[in-house]
């Protein structure tokens, strides 16, 4: 528990005065009762172990995993399209004939196709930030699934590259919805003990989609006709119908219901998400949600996109946005173009697809390993050291790129370095990012803040998708593996930002995180600062007219700033 850390150096608190309570139409007595129950729930949640969390919230785990499966098909298609650039039947159908007798998609079309989905995703993200908060997570996901089912027809029946481009743009709209709604849902249906695992599971879904795509393409290498790439496109129809059926029966987010002031429904949903455990009190947990929502309404009442840039939310928006941008700027583009990269590094077609398959298998193992690492080191440490190690391996890849064309051993060494790089990425940056963006945004603005973060991620993705094909394509810059130098420098800059700006949210309730941001605690002191989301002793006496310290202690603990060894 963060508040019991031996290295705690000081304590932070945010209080609500009588005027703020009046503006929220909450009486002193009602708020006193809410704060009392909320304090009990917060203590129970922050002391809850992983085993207890799984025992109390088994249904929350199930529903979160089901909804996160939406990301599998996005990971599938993104990897499928980028790796088709190295697939002979696709190259012959949509590429141009080179002087050496081979076919190759032009740099312009590689860039256009890779960026098409990103353009649609930005539109989908903006729609999601509004639709999810207005209509709820379930209805929004079902609508997006119907859109996916319809738009797959366009890419499946495409006979020219322009049609594929249009299909990718349209498919990007529902994918943009999935990218953030699954993260926020996972963050809102589970307690602190499970939050990191269920949010990082989303990265595992990405990797599973990438692994399935690589496996399907590897199996199609024996075909030299159009079905070699049409069959993989058709695989995308496997997911929507079963997921839609599951989402119909899924419970809504209790936090969303609290924000909509539908407290009775929120309590019923919370009961559906949890088991009958004598150690769990649904009413106290609902009180904690109400208390956190009231605190945020008092200090940052709005819920629009503009409110993400006001007051303490500006800092939270900056941190969340750049945290997600790091995923792209740390050189991960190499992984998305892995098969094409391996081909340009000198490996044969079969070896290139085999290496990509091994790469994504390692990615899945890395994501699972991250769950162990998070329990040992926390989010910030993993994010920081992951980038540092990735920077080193990118530099090595760049060095090997100088001799790879003439040296078969160097070609395989490049492949091996990229495999290790992938493992490090999926054990640190890849999965931990999802946990960070969900935890560091405020409850009332979570959907919109995460949307803005993903939009910045997509914008940086647009830029990297423009320059990466040029780095690798023999008809353009033809850097090959030497592009590792460029991404090593970019990754180093990301490491510096992480050190100075990224805080540690592990073990904190959303109320505690609100306090830390409201008090402008330094990112490097988040872990060592004791945060109390409840009223100060003196403030309680004045606000509620309590006659003694004993009575005040029933509402919440004291919050004077303290010094500890």
Cα–Cα distance for residue pair 448/461, rounded to 1 Å: 19
pLDDT for 391: 94
Cα–Cα distance for residue pair 253/260, rounded to 1 Å: 11
Give 266's contacts (C-beta < 8 A, 6+ positions apart): 254, 255, 257, 258, 286, 289
User: Which helix (H) or strand (E) covers residue 377, if one does?
Assistant: helix 349-377
pLDDT for 465: 77
pLDDT for 213: 82
Q: Other C-beta atoms within 10 Å of 53: how many? A: 21
Q: How far are the Cα atoms of 19, 380, 550 from residue 457, in angstroms, in the given order?
A: 40, 19, 51
Residue pair 236/73 in contact by the 8 Å Cβ criterion: yes
Collect the ranges in the chain with pLDDT lower than 50. Answer: 1-9, 13-14, 535-565
CATH number, domain 58-256+313-501, options 1.20.1250.20, 1.10.1740.10, 3.30.70.360, 3.50.50.60: 1.20.1250.20
Residue 418: burial class (beta carbons within 10 Å; 0-12, 13-18, 19+)? buried
Cα–Cα distance for residue pair 509/48, rounded to 1 Å: 11
- Characterize the bridge pairing of strands 96-97 and 10-13: unpaired
pLDDT for 548: 40
Beta bridge partners of 12: 531
- Characterize the bridge pairing of strands 103-104 and 96-97: antiparallel
> In b/e form, how buried is each residue of 498-525, taking b as 16+ CB within 10 angstroms?
beeebbbbbbbbbbbbbbbbbbebebee
pTM: predicted TM-score of the whole model, two decimal places? 0.78
User: Which helix (H) or strand (E) covers residue 352, if one does?
Assistant: helix 349-377
- Could you read off the pLDDT of 75-119 as tens digits, one per residue? 887 778 777 777 778 888 887 777 777 777 777 887 788 788 888
Please state the φ and ψ torsions of residue 97, each to the nearest 5 degrees. Answer: -80, 130
Q: What 3 state SS string does 438-501 have?
A: HHHCCCCCHHHHHHHHHHHHHHHHHHHHHHHHHHHCCCCCCCHHHHHHHHHHHHHHHHHHHHHH
pLDDT for 295: 75
pLDDT for 146: 94
CA 462 to chain centre: 18
Residue pair 52/193 in contact by the 8 Å Cβ criterion: yes
Given its phi and psi angles, is residue 25 left (phi above 0), alpha (psi -120 to 50 degrees) or beta? left
pLDDT for 5: 41
């Amino acid at each position: 528990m963060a508040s019991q850390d031996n290295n705690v150096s000081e304590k932070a608190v945010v209080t609500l005065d009588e005027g703020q309570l009046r503006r929220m139409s909450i009486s002193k007595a009602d708020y006193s009762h809410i704060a009392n129950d909320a304090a009990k729930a917060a203590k129970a949640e922050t002391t809850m172990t992983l085993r207890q969390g799984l025992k109390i919230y088994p249904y929350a785990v199930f529903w979160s995993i089901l909804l996160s499966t939406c990301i599998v098909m996005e990971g599938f298609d993104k990897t499928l399209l980028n790796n088709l650039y190295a697939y002979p039947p696709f190259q012959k159908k949509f590429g141009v004939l080179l002087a050496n007798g081979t076919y190759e998609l032009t740099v312009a079309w590689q860039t256009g196709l890779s960026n098409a989905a990103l353009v649609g995703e930005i539109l989908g993200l903006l729609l999601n930030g509004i639709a999810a908060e207005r209509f709820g997570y379930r209805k929004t996901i079902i609508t997006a699934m119907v859109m996916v089912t319809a738009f797959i027809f366009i890419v499946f029946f495409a006979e020219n590259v322009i049609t594929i481009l249009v299909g990718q743009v349209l498919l990007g709209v529902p994918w943009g919805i999935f990218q953030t709604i699954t993260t926020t849902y996972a963050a809102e249906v589970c307690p602190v003990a499970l939050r990191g695992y269920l949010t990082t599971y989303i990265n595992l879904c990405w990797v599973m989609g990438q692994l399935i795509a690589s496996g399907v393409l590897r199996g199609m290498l024996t075909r030299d006709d159009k079905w070699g790439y049409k069959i993989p496109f058709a695989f995308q129809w496997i997911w929507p119908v079963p997921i839609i059926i599951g989402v119909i029966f899924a419970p809504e987010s209790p936090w969303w219901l609290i924000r909509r002031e539908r407290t009775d429904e929120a309590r019923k949903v919370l009961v559906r998400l949890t088991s009958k455990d004598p150690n769990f009190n649904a009413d106290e947990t609902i009180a904690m949600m109400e208390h956190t929502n009231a605190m945020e309404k008092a200090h940052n009442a709005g819920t629009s996109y503009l409110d993400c840039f006001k007051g303490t939310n500006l800092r939270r928006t900056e941190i969340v946005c750049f945290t997600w941008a790091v995923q792209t700027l740390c050189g991960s583009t190499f992984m998305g173009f892995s098969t094409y990269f391996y081909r340009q590094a000198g490996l044969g077609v079969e070896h290139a697809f085999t290496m990509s398959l091994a790469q994504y298998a390692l990615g899945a193992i890395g994501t699972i390993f991250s769950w162990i690492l998070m329990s040992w080191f926390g989010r910030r440490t993993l994010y920081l050291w992951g980038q540092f190690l990735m920077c080193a391996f990118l530099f090595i890849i760049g060095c090997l790129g100088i001799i790879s064309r003439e040296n078969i051993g160097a070609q395989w060494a490049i492949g091996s370095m990229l495999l290790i790089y992938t493992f490090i990425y999926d054990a640190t940056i890849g999965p931990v990012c999802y946990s960070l963006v969900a935890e560091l945004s405020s409850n009332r603005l979570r959907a919109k803040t995460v949307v803005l973060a993903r939009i910045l991620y997509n914008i940086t993705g647009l830029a990297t998708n423009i320059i990466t094909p040029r780095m690798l394509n023999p008809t353009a810059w033809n850097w090959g593996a030497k592009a590792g130098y460029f991404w090593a420098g970019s990754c180093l800059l990301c490491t510096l930002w992480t050190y100075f700006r990224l805080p540690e949210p592990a073990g904190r309730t959303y109320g505690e995180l609100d306090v830390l941001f409201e008090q402008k605690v330094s990112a490097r002191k988040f872990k060592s600062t004791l945060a109390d989301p409840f009223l100060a002793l003196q403030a309680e006496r004045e606000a509620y007219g309590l006659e003694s310290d004993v009575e005040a202690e029933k509402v919440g603990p004291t919050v004077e700033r303290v010094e500890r060894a």
